[in-house]
Amino acid sequence: MQNDSQNDAAGSELNRDELEALLGTLGIGLAGEVEAAAAASSGELRLSLHHSREFGMVISATAAGLDGALDASLFRKGRAAAQALAELSSGADFLLRFQQTLAYQKLRLRAQQRQEAAPDAQLVLLFERLLALAVEPAQNQGGTLQSLALTLMLRQGKFFAIAAKCTISAAAPQRLPRPIAKIDKLLHPATIGLIGVSGSGMNFGRIILRNLVGSGYPKTQLTIIRPDDTEIDGVPCVASLTALAHKLDLLIVAVAADAVYGLVDEIIASGNVESVMLIPGSLGETKKSREPAAELAQRINAAHGLPGGGPIFLGANCLGVVSHPGHYDSWFIPLERLPKPQKKPERNSVMLSQSGAFMITRLSQNPWLDPRYMLALGNQTDLTHGDLLSYFAQRPEIETIGVYIEGFKDGDGRDFARAVRRAVLAGKQVVVYKAGKTAPGAAGVMGHTASIAGDAALFEAVLRQAGAIVAEDINSFDDLFYIAGALHHKKVGQRLGAISGAGFEAVGMADATLTDNFSMQMGELQDATVKRVEEILLAKKLAALVEVRNPIDINPGADDEAHLQITEAFLCDPAIDAVVVGLDPTAPMVRALVESKLRPGYDLSDAKSTVHLMPVLVANTDKPIIGIIDGGRLYDAMAERLMDQGVCVFRNCARGTRALVQYTEARLAADAIRAAART
């Protein structure tokens, strides 16, 4: 066995005797020197425990030797390595992840060549022992385990170590827990104060004041801290925080960045503020500001040790908050630039984002997202992704949570993953998109919200393990957050039905059914369904033109009723779990126009149009239906009227089908997590 004993900045390594004793507790034998030398370049398995900055202890397994050294980008997701958060794992669960990798396939094939059984039982036992080691708080010499890397070979049903390295280190200092119950004050404030409102110009503070009043927040519950005025826009002013006659549930700070450092101490000392929103940027995003911003965060953290926990801070570099239940909008974007009409009778989603602009553009492009709350986190000087998700995971009225992340604070990835798991167990959906996957992207997030991007592959593996729906890009986030909200109360399954009057669309739906590690299959129609569809086609004089199959091209001559009657027939088939239907707006028989000049009345106003018939069909089934309206601006009204009535509509067949497939994969994984928790 190879081992190099030395000390470094990351901690100290175990000596040979300590390491051999540790391997003994794991049930790992030691390869002889000659055997180890022969196998060193072609070890079969590399296992590791590693304390990551964001997630704490992580377990990983990959191929050893040259196979393990190959760039993971050469493999499909999950094929190069299995990675998981140790505290959310079991030996059996990690084996399922490992079985998807090249390393496992080679272990199994080599065992077959030696006429031995697959090493599953040995792997589960080894994984369980490693996971037990990962959650033990202390190791030798009073330190904590920092990393353990093992290169192993399997012989006669037993693992032997070719090389091993274990590092221990002192426990890192932890931030004090934030009093997250005060997030309720932030979201539903009975009193709001503002600092930084101009008495004469239209600065950010004045825009925020106008938005607060314009969104319905009562002026009588607002106070401006400004010594030179008695009132601004009908809102009273006081000279200072200490001059307040009452406590503030929320204080919005919109001053220059340099003024924040002293002001935070004043806020804490006053004892008059429960929550604070720090709007200013340049607090940690630039090289010059990083050290003072870190000191500021330390002072805020220290205040959480005071009686009552001190105030909580959202931001800095924070766009603000929209809280519909709290009756306020504190974004510094004028309301006229971003109308926010209510698109749902009951808002049941939340959007959390490090970037305020990310939320603005998402909502602007798809107002049907329509979250109940929208919060910009900015730099996470105090409140983190984990804090906010922990709060919303326990809110019964929230069903879907969308999160945009640039980076985690130290250890907050673990807190976030825990919160995802709690949310999933409570029946909620968490859709996550992480930026900064490339080197240029990682540099960009550092300059935007002072975030360290972290390992993108590890992020995705851990968040999927926790039960999140992980988006691969911005378009995917838009699609998954939208579809999650639309289909939350529907049942899901892997058997798809695809219908369209355009041949390319039916084929395109079938082609979009595959992800990296999951696929939906075209359900095999039962005889009764085939007969029913044939009767519909005969009644619509299309029988001679169409062969009943799945996917089915029902011909451009099909009208609205034909599309929806065939959709209903598919939905009634026990072998179909979901339907994607191309609504063919350009087809001459479909009532898709606001007004038809060629056939007056043959338009959206007709009682037989899709916009009247489809919402009823959607409401009366527990299976997902995705409507596809692939057409230009002429057909925006058709799409909007359907979406207004709760129909899930996409404007492209491949994009809509792919979103359904990705959503189904995540929903089934979440269902499995909940089922395992019940046993």
Residue percentage of the chain with pLDDT more than 90: 73
Query: Can you tell me the distance from the alpha carbon of 462 to that of 200, in angstroms, rounded to the nearest whole number?
Result: 51
Pick from 5-19, 233-247, 365-379, 500-514: least confident:
5-19
Q: Decide whether 7-169 matches 180-486 in CATH topology.
A: no
Which residue, chain included where needed, has tokens 């239907």?
A: 581
What does the pLDDT look like over 301-335, one tens digit per residue? 999 999 999 999 999 999 999 999 999 999 988 77
pLDDT at site 6: 39
Q: Residue 40: pLDDT above 60?
A: no
Question: Which tokens hold the place of 130?
Answer: 């490693």
pLDDT at site 437: 63
Q: Residue 248: pLDDT above 90?
A: yes
The DSSP string of 564-601 is: HHHHHHHHT-TT-SEEEEE--TTSTTS--SSS-SSSTT
pLDDT at site 453: 46
Query: Can you tell me the distance from the alpha carbon of 576 to that of 526, in angstroms, rounded to the nearest whole number?
Result: 9
pLDDT at site 418: 98
Cis bond before residue 256 (omega within 30° of 0) = no
Residues 213/233, Cβ–Cβ less than 8 Å? yes
Query: Can you tell me the distance from the alpha carbon of 391 to that of 146, in angstroms, rounded to the nearest whole number?
Result: 30
Which residue, chain included where needed, has tokens 């983190």?
A: 384
Query: Can you tell me the distance from the alpha carbon of 351 to that of 63, in angstroms, rounded to the nearest whole number?
Result: 39
Phi/psi of residue 134, nearest 5 degrees: -65, -35
pLDDT at site 9: 40
pLDDT at site 559: 97
| Number of neighbours of residue 6 by Cβ within 10 angstroms | 7
- The one-letter amino acid at 613: L
Q: Residue 11: pLDDT above 90?
A: no
Residue 204 CB partners (closer than 8 Å, separation 6+): 196, 254, 279, 332
Query: Can you tell me the distance from the alpha carbon of 153 to that of 29, in angstroms, rounded to the nearest whole number?
Result: 10
Which residue, chain included where needed, has tokens 């409401």?
A: 619
- The one-letter amino acid at 145: L
| H/E run at residue 64 | none
Give the pLDDT band of residue 289 (cuts 50, 70, 90). Answer: confident
Q: Residue 391: pLDDT above 80?
A: yes
Residues 139/164, Cβ–Cβ less than 8 Å? no
Range 85-94 average pLDDT: 96
On the CB side of 138, CA atoms within 13 Å amount to 4
Q: Under CATH, what is the fold of the domain 490-671?
A: Rossmann fold (3.40.50)
Query: Can you tell me the distance from the alpha carbon of 516 to that of 518, in angstroms, rounded to the nearest whole number?
Result: 6
What does the pLDDT look like over 159-200, one tens digit per residue? 889 888 998 888 778 899 999 999 999 999 999 999 999 998
Helix, strand, or coil (residue 221)? helix
Phi/psi of residue 380, nearest 5 degrees: 55, 45
Range 476-500 average pLDDT: 97
Residue 310 CB partners (closer than 8 Å, separation 6+): 179, 268, 300, 303, 304
Q: Work out the burial of residue 455: count CB atoms within 10 Å of its CB; fewer than 13 is exposed, 13-18 middle, 19 or more buried.
A: middle
Q: Residue 531: pLDDT above 80?
A: yes
Q: Under CATH, what is the fold of the domain 180-486?
A: Rossmann fold (3.40.50)
Give the pLDDT band of residue 64 (cuts 50, 70, 90). Answer: confident
Range 652-666 average pLDDT: 97
Query: Can you tell me the distance from the alpha carbon of 285 to that of 282, in angstroms, rounded to the nearest whole number?
Result: 5
Cis bond before residue 292 (omega within 30° of 0) = no
Specify whether the backbone of 32 is left (phi greater than 0), alpha (psi in -120 to 50) or beta.
beta
List the domain boundaries for the chain: 7-169, 180-486, 490-671
Indicate the pairing of strand 349-353 with strand 400-405: parallel
DSSP state of 337: G
Range 359-364 average pLDDT: 92
Question: Which tokens hold the place of 28?
Answer: 């790992």
Specify whether the backbone of 309 is left (phi greater than 0), alpha (psi in -120 to 50) or beta.
left
What does the pLDDT look like over 419-464, one tens digit per residue? 999 999 999 999 999 997 655 444 444 444 444 545 889 999 999 9
Q: Does pTM surpass 0.85?
A: yes
Residue 96 CB partners (closer than 8 Å, separation 6+): none
Range 527-532 average pLDDT: 98
Question: Which tokens hold the place of 604?
Answer: 């959206």
Query: Can you tell me the distance from the alpha carbon of 422 to that of 673, in angstroms, rounded to the nearest whole number?
Result: 11
The DSSP string of 104-117 is: HHHHHHHHHHTT--
Residues 232/224, Cβ–Cβ less than 8 Å? yes
pLDDT at site 96: 95
Helix, strand, or coil (residue 440)? helix
Terminal alpha carbon distance of the chain: 42
What does the pLDDT look like over 132-165, one tens digit per residue? 998 764 444 456 889 999 999 887 788 889 888 9
Question: Which tokens hold the place of 333?
Answer: 């974007």
What does the pLDDT look like over 599-619, one tens digit per residue? 999 999 999 999 999 999 999
Question: Which tokens hold the place of 111?
Answer: 């065992």
Which residue, chain included where needed, has tokens 């470094």?
A: 8
pLDDT at site 445: 43
Q: Under CATH, what is the fold of the domain 7-169?
A: D-amino Acid Aminotransferase; Chain A, domain 1 (3.30.470)
Query: Can you tell me the distance from the alpha carbon of 490 to that of 618, in angstroms, rounded to the nearest whole number?
Result: 10
